[in-house]
Chain A
Amino acid sequence: MNPFLATFFKDLLILWRDRAGMLVLFLMPMILVLVVSLVQNNILAVTGHAGLRVLFLDQDKGFVAEAIRQRFQASGEIELITEVQGKPLTEERARREVDSGHFQFALLIPAETSARVRAKSLLLAQDLSGASENSLSEDNNPEPVQVFFDPGVQGVFRTAVLSSVRYALLGVEMSEIERQFSSELNAQFGITPSQENASNAVREPRILLKVREHSPENQEQSRMPNAVQQNVPAYALFGMFFIVVPLSGALLRERQDSTLRRLLILPVPYWVLLAGKTLAYVAICLVQFGLMLLVGKFLLPLMGTPVLQIGNHPGAVFLLALCAALAATGSGMLLGTWARSYEQASMLGAVSVVIAAALGGVMVPVYMMPQGMQKLSSFSPLAWGLDGFIKLFVRSGDLASIQTNLWLFVGFFLLTLSLSIVLFSRQGRSGG
């Protein structure tokens, strides 16, 4: 076995036997991604940023319920659920499911709603045309359309949902009134509306003033990640950069106990040994990353989150992870060369990674930061990685779209490596 491979396997063995270190490297990011993704997924659900699953209890079976069903389903963001665990929904079950937080809200269309709307529309049409001698009176015992909310649903989202329901109902009422009014005019003046118009009128209210929503021209670029797409790469990078702690510790220990001296008088160039060590730590980072992808793909969905989608360019994903791993090992080498004690290396290593993670949008997405922080964020290697993975996972990015991210990582690796070499040379090849 040549010195490069011997060093690679030696360092892998040392890392493998450091069970506490392994737990920190592998378990910590997994636990973080599980907890944060589940919490964030719930927050997105109760604030309406995720697709909604709505309990829909149709006791009406008429055109009103049908019109509301079609309107919600047409939005594409709402899935109407009419059965729970294979059993048709009841009012009591719907209340229970919403109260327990399994669903954010339930919509109940009471029986006879369509018949009541039709009767009232007829009365209104007759009243407007002057055909009715009876004035329109209030319904003494109205059975309203009911909406049950999860108490955790936030105010703005609650208002938006109620407005949507009211708008849908208003549309149905207007259409029905228009239809009845047309019929009344026909009866009085002999005007016959076409069958098609009458049919359309039931479904679509006539809108005189429209509102047009302007989206960014490149919708791909503005697409936001869901909790899994944000947190899996974020905490994978966080875990990968934590490699600075064991790596700097290993380099420091070699320096302090004179193992480095022993290595330096070997008939092997030191860079060969350093390359073997780097490869071992890069391999550990890549295994970490792979495991985190598996968590996003298989474990998190078991807990109710969306499945992690990694886009159509797995090669680009691997390359970005590789470059991030190189950057992480580079910073570990720099810290291990610069630090004078294990305490200094471990403390500074951990704190610097947490700061870089906070700046890089791991804990709070960059777009939610103030302007000044967003500018600072661009200096964090974790931000380069996260931005690249979101391009690949969410915005249909390819290798070309993450070129800048790759070069930033490679540049960072070369910079930290060069600084390490300069520091190492200053220490005079004497082991410190």
Chain B
Amino acid sequence: MGFRKQTDKVEAQAILTAIGLGKSYGKGNSYAVDDLSLSVEPGKVYGLLGPNGAGKTTSILIMSTLLRPCRGTLSICGTDALQHPARVRKMIGLVPQEVALYPTLTGRENLCYFGRLNGLKGASLEARVKACVELVGLSENADRRVEYYSGGMKRRLNLAVGVVHRPRLLFLDEPTVGIDAQSRHMILENLLQLREEGVSMVYTTHYMEEAQQLCNTIGIMDKGKKIAEGEAKQLLEAHPGCANLEELFLHLTGRHLRD
């Protein structure tokens, strides 16, 4: 009975908890991220939506331990990520907005390299590389150099490299930007599969239908602040005039252009 209770407590514990995160670039500059608080539970996907310059990428960089915030606290898998960034890095993965790969290496070589840096070796490395290549549908092209890949193939490999070491928490910064519908569809399928496998995610995107399909919780940011949060259904219910997430997004952030 006691053991069951303890397990339930661990399962319920958020895999990521951010409280009051703030970041400004230099003195006198306004905050790129201001008082951001969010929580991601195990196996759940948190979607961060916002117009250009809203602070989504800065938030991802802070939460993935790349950027130190000016204020706030951050806990990942129960560890203080600001105090002990090296400890939490074993548990996280990052899929950056850009195609962060070595173009003159093959897909397999890229996966092997990042796998080795994450501590994989021997048969387990081989197995993970094979699984990742299959996951993103690159089995036939794994031994071609990345520079000869199409945009969609590069994006898929970008995702595969981010998950080669089986992270518990994955940060994805607009992973489907600039690719065709087929590749986007495949990446979404891959992400849904990862969610099924229990991988938690923080996901930024400009595509509302993606967010609706994938994310358990959606946070909408503007000018560094979180202005709305909840399940897509709840958010739409709270704003009866909005037929879908895109209308809600424009309603909350305005229709003026952001450059």
**Residues of A participating in the B interface, judged by any CB pair closer than 8 Å:** 1-3, 6-7, 10, 13-14, 17-18, 256-259, 261-269, 273, 428-431
Q: A3-B117, A6-B113, A265-B92 are in contact. Are A259 and B100 (CB under 8 A)?
A: yes
Q: Is the CB of A258 within 8 A of B97?
A: yes
Minimal Cβ-Cβ distance residue in B for A428: B67
| Stretch of B14-22, B101-109, B180-188, B249-257 that contacts chain A | B101-109
Give A171 to B65 CA distance when docked, in angstroms. Answer: 90
Give A256 to B97 CA distance when docked, in angstroms. Answer: 11
Residues of the A chain whose Cβ atoms lie less than 8 Å from the Cβ of B109: 10, 13
The 9 closest A-B pairs by CB, nearest first: A258-B96, A258-B100, A6-B116, A258-B98, A259-B100, A17-B104, A267-B90, A267-B89, A262-B100
Question: Is there a chain A Cβ closer than 8 Å to B61's Cβ?
Answer: yes
From residue 98 to 126 of chain B, which have CB atoms closer than 8 A to chain A?
98-102, 104-105, 109, 113-114, 116-119, 121
Q: A17-B104, A430-B67, A431-B66 are in contact. Are A263 and B98 (CB under 8 A)?
A: no
Give the shortest distance, in Å, between A270 (CB) and chain B (any CB).
11
Give the shortest distance, in Å, between A262 (CB) and chain B (any CB).
5
From residue 175 to 225 of chain B, which have CB atoms closer than 8 A to chain A?
none
Quick one: which of B89, B117, B118 has the most chain A CB within 10 A? B117
Question: Is there a chain A Cβ closer than 8 Å to B86's Cβ?
Answer: yes
Contacts A1-B121, A258-B100 known; 12 new A-B pairs at CB < 8 A? A3-B116, A6-B113, A10-B105, A10-B113, A17-B104, A258-B97, A261-B100, A262-B94, A265-B92, A267-B90, A267-B119, A429-B67
Quick one: which of B25, B96, B105, B119 has the most chain A CB within 10 A? B96
Contact of B66 among A2, A3, A430 (CB under 8 A): A430
Residues of the A chain whose Cβ atoms lie less than 8 Å from the Cβ of B117: 3, 6-7, 263, 266, 268, 273
Give the shortest distance, in Å, between B179 (CB) and chain A (any CB).
16
Question: Is there a chain A Cβ closer than 8 Å to B75's Cβ?
Answer: no
Interface of B is mostly: loop
Quick one: which of A1, A7, A14, A267 has the most chain B CB within 10 A? A267
Question: Is there a chain A Cβ closer than 8 Å to B59's Cβ?
Answer: no
Give the shortest distance, in Å, between A403 (CB) and chain B (any CB).
38
Contact of B96 among A18, A261, A428, A429 (CB under 8 A): A261
Contact of A261 among B94, B99, B118, B161 (CB under 8 A): B94
Give the shortest distance, in Å, between B125 (CB) and chain A (any CB).
9
Give the shortest distance, in Å, between B244 (CB) and chain A (any CB).
31
Give the shortest distance, in Å, between B129 (CB) and chain A (any CB).
13
Give the shortest distance, in Å, between B61 (CB) and chain A (any CB).
6
Residues of the B chain whose Cβ atoms lie less than 8 Å from the Cβ of A14: 102, 104-105
Minimal Cβ-Cβ distance residue in B for A272: B117
Minimal Cβ-Cβ distance residue in A for B114: A262
Residues of the A chain whose Cβ atoms lie less than 8 Å from the Cβ of B97: 258
Give the shortest distance, in Å, between A142 (CB) and chain B (any CB).
77
Q: Is the CB of B102 within 8 A of A1?
A: no
Contact of A265 among B94, B116, B119, B145 (CB under 8 A): B94
Give A257 to B173 CA distance when docked, in angstroms. Answer: 13
Minimal Cβ-Cβ distance residue in B for A430: B67
List 27 A-B residue pairs with CB atoms under 8 Å apart, sorted by A's residue number.
Answer: A2-B116, A3-B116, A7-B113, A10-B105, A13-B104, A13-B105, A17-B105, A257-B101, A258-B96, A258-B97, A261-B64, A261-B66, A261-B94, A261-B96, A262-B100, A262-B114, A262-B161, A263-B117, A264-B66, A265-B93, A266-B89, A268-B117, A428-B67, A428-B68, A429-B68, A430-B61, A431-B66
Q: Is the CB of B99 within 8 A of A257?
A: yes
**B61-80 contact mask (Cβ, 8 Å, vs A): 1 or 0:** 10011111000000000000
Residues of the B chain whose Cβ atoms lie less than 8 Å from the Cβ of A1: 116, 121
Residues of the A chain whose Cβ atoms lie less than 8 Å from the Cβ of B145: 17
Q: A3-B117, A430-B61 are in contact. Are A18 and B104 (CB under 8 A)?
A: yes
Give the shortest distance, in Å, between A152 (CB) and chain B (any CB).
49
Residues of the B chain whose Cβ atoms lie less than 8 Å from the Cβ of A7: 113, 117
